Structure 1
Amino acid sequence: MPTSARKSAVLYRMVMPEHICPWGLKARWLLWRKGYHIDDHRLRTREETDAFQAKHHVQTTPQTFIDGERIGGYDDLRRFFGLQVAEPGATSYRPVVAVFAVALLLAAAAMWSPDPPSARRLLGWLVSFAMCMLALLKLQDIESFSTMFLNYDLLARRFVPYAYFYPFGELGAGLLMVSGRLPHLAAAVALFIGTVGAVSVFKAVYIDKRKLKCACVGGSSNVPLGFVSLTENLMMVAMALWTMA
């Protein structure tokens, strides 16, 4: 497509040493997915952000401009493209559907398992069931989870869809471990997401000294990022290595 014919958008988002706006990452990914060339303006200090907000009479970032017209924040951008936006206070059956769907999958996985009951099996099921239940908490509101996850996960910051894949990967690996089927696939998925997660949490908490909320039990939790999330990821790594062994 000729450069002159390409769709273009101007995006202003916060990218500071201590904070990268997750909605800015989502807005950039959405524009890219819709085929837009993005003029990405990074607001690197609080002063730059305040000056931008005062100039354009807005209170939040990110802000997207298309054809010289201000579209607004991430939710406004979704509406511009005709995508669904959850309104504050709107009712939803998604949490209930997620609970029963995961329960059904767990029951099916347990029935599919060829292994006889044993202490070793009990320990394996303990970790596998925990993985599935943690995935369930994320899937009840995956949008909130992904937003919180983008605050610290290193891979999701580079590839936003990974924030949506993570709970499905955790659930799939847990179900396969419960069933005892396709152990190498289950181990590979758990090892990958567990290792990336552990490195991301360790960097955010113990190297960068950032105080964030943990997305490990869903996007609406107030659990501090640190030991709990690190344990979740190390648990997956350990289970993956045990499965491969």
Structure 2
Amino acid sequence: MASAPAKQATIYRMVMPEHTCPFGLKAKDLLRREGYAVDDHWLMTREETDAFKAKHGVKTTPQIFIAGERVGGYDDLRRFFGKMVRDPKAVTYRPVIAVFAMTALMALAASYAVLGTPFTVRAGEWFIAFSMCALAMLKLQNVESFSSMFLNYDLLAKRWVPYSYVYPYAEGAAGVLMAAGALTWLSVPVALVIGTIGAVSVFKAVYIDKRELKCACVGGDSNVPLGFISLTENLMMVAMALWMIAAPPVLAMAH
């Protein structure tokens, strides 16, 4: 019995010495995973690419054709196969979930390496400290962008703009010191102050003023909505600071 002919698709994508279109590679891979034999056409110069766009009346490449009909670009191909297409403007908690998931695993790993078991009080302390460090790192990637978003809701930053630039460094330094259990006379007040101000600011903006804003907690380019997660981040800092005041002997056990 003869096998059914393979499904056919044609793709036109940019493959130049200085640039290979990543969406072309993704589209080609998706077609193959969906069982299509791909007729792969390379657009190897800017002139060739511009001529192709003009001929087909399109603004972007790659362009995919199936059964002689133009499907469109990579996002259109995903829709053609019934797959989700991410809206770049849609709000999402994914960055925060990714940070907290990784820092939780790091804390468990550190506790196992140092204390021989992952499930310890110290693991909880490390989780908060590592989270502060990771969140500070994301802010420090673009402090200018972070400060602009932060100024939308932080009460102290609105009165004293330099605070919006100081905050990521303060958060990161406090996180590092708390992870080490060192210089608590410095890390505890810093975490307590910035955490309290942050919690009050978020609570006022979201639950009193009912404003719909984006949170600067994972940097100034995120689409994370300001709300419960943002409030939790600040309350975690406050809780860590108070815990370190109340239970210094526990923090010293790992040394």
TM range (shorter): 0.5 to 0.7
Residues 241 and 117 of structure 1, relative CA distance in 2, 3 Å threshold: farther
Q: Is the 8 A contact 1:131 1:174 kept in 2?
A: yes
Q: Is residue 186 of structure 1 aligned with residue 183 of structure 2?
A: no
Q: Does 1:125 align with 2:134?
A: no
Paired with 2:196 and 2:154, the residues of 1 have a C-alpha distance of: 11
Partner of 2:16: none
SS in 2 for 1:134: helix
**Which segments of 5 or more consecutive residues in structure 2 lack a partner in the other structure?**
1-105, 247-255
SS in 1 for 2:211: coil
TM-score (norm 2): 0.50
- Corresponding residue for 2:34? none
Quote how far apart the aligned CAs of 1:162 are.
Answer: 0.2
Alignment of 1:81-230 (within 5 A): 119-230=120-231
Deviation string 1:100-134 (CA, Å, 9 cap, x unpaired) is xxxxxx9xxx9xxxx85661111111110010000
Point out where structure 1 has 5 or more consecutive residues left out of the alignment: 1-105
The corresponding residue for 2:39 is: none
2:136 corresponds to which letter in structure 1? A
Matches of 1:212 and 1:244, distance apart in 2: 33
Measure, in 1, the Cα distance between the counterparts of 2:187 and 2:244. Answer: 8
Q: Which has the larger radius of gyration?
A: 2
CA distance in 2 between partners of 1:165 and 1:243 (Å) = 23
Tell me the alpha carbon deviations over residues 146-200 of structure 1, each in whole angstroms, 9 at most, x when there is no partner.
Answer: 0000000000000000000111110010000111111131111000000000000
What is the CA–CA distance in structure 2 between the aligned matches of 1:192 and 1:117, rounded to whole Å? Answer: 34
With the length of structure 1 as denominator, give the TM-score of the two structures.
0.52
Report Cα offsets for 1:17-43 as digits up to 9, x if no partner. xxxxxxxxxxxxxxxxxxxxxxxxxxx
The CA distance in 2 between the partners of 1:205 and 1:186, in whole Å, is 28
Q: Distance in 2 between matches of 1:219 and 1:241?
A: 29
Instruction: Tell me the equivalent position of 2:9.
Output: none
Distance 2:158 2:137 in 1: 22
Identity %: 68
Structure 2 match to 1:46: none
Give the paired residue count.
133
Alpha-carbon distance between aligned partners in 2 of 1:117 and 1:178, rounded to the nearest angstrom: 17
Q: What secondary structure does 2:232 align onto?
A: helix
Equivalent residues of 1:197, 1:233 under 8 A apart: yes
Q: Partners in 2 of 1:178 and 1:220 — Cα distance? A: 27
